[in-house]
Amino acid sequence: MEELVGRWWHEALVKLTTPAPTAATVHLADMRTTIGLMFRAAGGAGTARLAPASLQRTADAPHWLHRLAGAGGRAPLPACDADVLALPDSLSVFDDRALNHDLYLWLALLGAHWSPHPDWVLGNVLSTKSALTAFPGFVDRYEKLKTAHVLQREAVALPGRASAQAERTVRAALAGQWPTDTPGRCLPADVTPVWLWVCGPSGAPVGATAPAGQARQSDASRKLVATDAQRRRTQATTHEKASNPFVLPFRAEALMSWSEMVRVNRSTDDEDDGNAQAAANDMDALSIAPDGQTLASRVKFDLDLPSSSIDDVPLGDGQPFPEWDFKRGLLQPAHVQVQASQARVGAAFQPAPALRTIARQMRRRMEVMRHAPRLQRGQENGEEIDIDAWIRLQADNQGAHQRGSDTPAVYARHVAAHRSLATWLLADLSQSTDAFANDHMRVIDVIRDAVYVFGEALHAVGDPFAVWGFSSVRRHNVRLQKIKGMDERWDAAARDRVGAIKPGFYTRMGAAIRHATHHLQHSPQRCRLLMLLTDGKPNDLDEYEGRYGLEDTRHAILEAREAGVTPFCVTIDPDGHDYLPMLFGAQGYVLVHRPQDLARRLTQAWTQLARHGGRGR
């Protein structure tokens, strides 16, 4: 009963103290695309993600009702670091909606030019000057925001616990006085929220103090994860005592804060009591320190390699490939080892009747492409106008050197031509594909069906193609599984190998792309297409996480394009829009929202690419 009444009391207070949205409120969800474009166009990191900001302590003087609810003196302050731009979930700082809209754009622009500095005020002053110098067109909007915000600050009396010197320093900086030094260095917690500024990272990167040899836990192996995307501030710390006491002496007078960390030996519990996320939201910063445990004591599934008697059949010796290290800005030669193998085929693969129907439909559609005439553009005469060529011609005529011609090449026509196209399909077979895609099928089952339909469709076209699967266990064991080679037939043996694929391990995507590029660039066909079928981000047990894996994959894709290979990604990851444009470009991928549509969408994507790539560009 006490918990029930307490929950009612808390919900009532929160409802009373939470301001209701007004007509001037602008929400982050409605601005995500605009903010992302602004941030990256201004030079922000392509791998940085946009996340809601967490509540941080400020010097606000809250109403007694806010203090009673425990919500006083905290605000979702904007923050920026190398990987995340954290902005408030909604902005109602000003009574004018246009100003709140411009404030989101300004924070994105400032975040793109943010340079970490020990002094928070001076860092924002220098970053503001850099942003306005690079984008002078935003000066007028910034002046309106600054004027409105300065008036707000002058109208609010300083709380008793705030530093008057710190507030004077902030107001002087906002007034445009670019100081070379800020006397009385202050922190965001010393003043009322400065909505025109951002905060830097709160501490050293997590894992910086981890002992040597301790591997980091991968995304695929985390059992408990946060259900929201809120950015939480962390600080690295260490334990002074290495022992694990079994008894904690209780001294109430020495317990200054419940958020203080005490090293107590606690058993691992896989069950979430539902309060961990709420507790994390209540803390100003999460203290993270190495616990002395190895990865094997935390990962909940077996990472040992299978024995050679049941593993795939190796195809020759391993092959070394380079890998991009974005921290050092260099390509590490022979850094990863790729081992090609072939699945041991067991029982014959028997597709479901519904899948056979889909494959038969796609075969019939693709058979039309075998002898269908191709559309050639940029011709001097033809059946229709080539809009792209016509626009280029008009643009050239507007320049200093006009191109006059009685027969401009602005037509398109259908001619019987031979298509020279080779396709390489890479299927993600990592452990994450063992999860359920819907109520009836796992992700690996959806991928298996898509590969089967893709093989049936391309067999009907007659163009050469190869199908490989990939997974990895650290950099010395990148596993490439051969399902069908470029010079092999699509027969019962190939279909049985499709039925034998199984999930396992992790996703070192860059090495798999480089392996496929190495083979495709020696193909005699004029056009070479590399299609990647995946369900998530690149990851592995070692440092191949987060930005490291994304940057290596991006460089592998750039290397493929330089080698004359056209990469394209088909994914069922609902968060694919957050990182795939940086990897493949805005038109270089397709996101399938319903897993059951994957087989059709994969084949349809190839059809569109084949019609474009068949011209030999």
Per-residue pLDDT, 14:
64
Beta bridge partners of 287: 235
Higher model confidence: residue 306 or residue 38? 38
* pLDDT-based confidence at residue 264 (cuts at 50, 70, 90): very low
Quick: pLDDT tens for 374-405: 667 777 777 788 888 888 888 877 765 555 66
Per-residue pLDDT, 229:
58
Per-residue pLDDT, 16:
63
H or E, element range at 332: strand 330-342
Query: Per-residue pLDDT for 279 more than 70?
Result: no
* pLDDT-based confidence at residue 219 (cuts at 50, 70, 90): very low
Per-residue pLDDT, 552:
96
* pLDDT-based confidence at residue 71 (cuts at 50, 70, 90): low
CB 286 within 8 A of CB 267: no
Q: Return the SS3 of 469.
A: strand
Query: What distance lies between CA 573 and its chain's CA centroid?
Result: 10
* pLDDT-based confidence at residue 168 (cuts at 50, 70, 90): confident
Residue at 606: amino acid letter? W
Q: Picking from 91-100, 197-206, 439-448, 548-557, which range would have the lowest pLDDT averaged per residue?
A: 197-206
Residue 233: how many other CB atoms lie within 10 Å = 20
Task: Choose from 191-200, 306-315, 343-352 the range with maximum mean pLDDT.
Answer: 191-200
Going from the C-alpha of 476 to that of each of 480, 559, 569, the distances in angstroms are 12, 21, 25
How far apart are alpha carbons 128 and 122 in whole angstroms? 10
Query: Per-residue pLDDT for 420 more than 90?
Result: no
Query: Per-residue pLDDT for 224 more than 70?
Result: no
Quick: pLDDT tens for 229-242: 565 665 555 555 55
Task: Choose from 153-162, 193-202, 212-221, 391-400 the range with maximum mean pLDDT.
Answer: 193-202
Query: Per-residue pLDDT for 108 more than 90?
Result: yes
Per-residue pLDDT, 295:
41
Overall average pLDDT of the 538-562 stretch? 93
**Residue 389 phi, psi (nearest 5):** -65, -35
Tokens 């943010």, residue? 114
CA neighbor of 504 nearest in space, from 402, 598, 427: 427
Query: Per-residue pLDDT for 415 more than 70?
Result: no
Overall average pLDDT of the 330-337 stretch? 94
Task: Give the number of C-alpha atoms closer than 13 A to the C-alpha of residue 129, restricted to the C-beta side.
Answer: 12
H or E, element range at 530: strand 527-534
Per-residue pLDDT, 512:
96
Higher model confidence: residue 372 or residue 129? 129
* pLDDT-based confidence at residue 320 (cuts at 50, 70, 90): very high
Query: Per-residue pLDDT for 291 more than 80?
Result: no
Query: Per-residue pLDDT for 470 more than 90?
Result: yes
Query: Mind giving me the DSSP string for 108-124?
Result: HHHHHT----SSHHHHH
Higher model confidence: residue 193 or residue 73? 193
Overall average pLDDT of the 174-187 stretch? 62
* pLDDT-based confidence at residue 510 (cuts at 50, 70, 90): very high
* pLDDT-based confidence at residue 228 (cuts at 50, 70, 90): low
Per-residue pLDDT, 507:
93
Query: Per-residue pLDDT for 274 more than 80?
Result: no
CB 394 within 8 A of CB 386: no
CA neighbor of 10 nearest in space, from 278, 285, 286: 278
Beta bridge partners of 470: 428, 480
Per-residue pLDDT, 238:
54
Per-residue pLDDT, 106:
93
- Global pTM reads 0.62
Report the chain's mean pLDDT, rounded to a whole number: 77
Residue 361: how many other CB atoms lie within 10 Å = 14
Q: At what angle do helices 353-371 and 443-461 cross, to 10 degrees?
A: 30
Query: Per-residue pLDDT for 187 more than 80?
Result: no
Per-residue pLDDT, 301:
39
Q: Would the CA dihedral through 436, 437, 440, 445 be positive or negative?
A: negative
* pLDDT-based confidence at residue 50 (cuts at 50, 70, 90): confident
Query: Per-residue pLDDT for 110 more than 90?
Result: yes
Question: Domains in the chain, start-ordered, CATH in brackets?
Answer: 13-190 (no CATH), 353-372+418-613 (3.40.50.410), 376-393+408-417 (no CATH)
Per-residue pLDDT, 614:
46
Percent of the chain at pLDDT > 70 equals 70
Per-residue pLDDT, 207:
36
* pLDDT-based confidence at residue 76 (cuts at 50, 70, 90): confident
How far apart are alpha carbons 15 and 69 in whole angstroms? 10
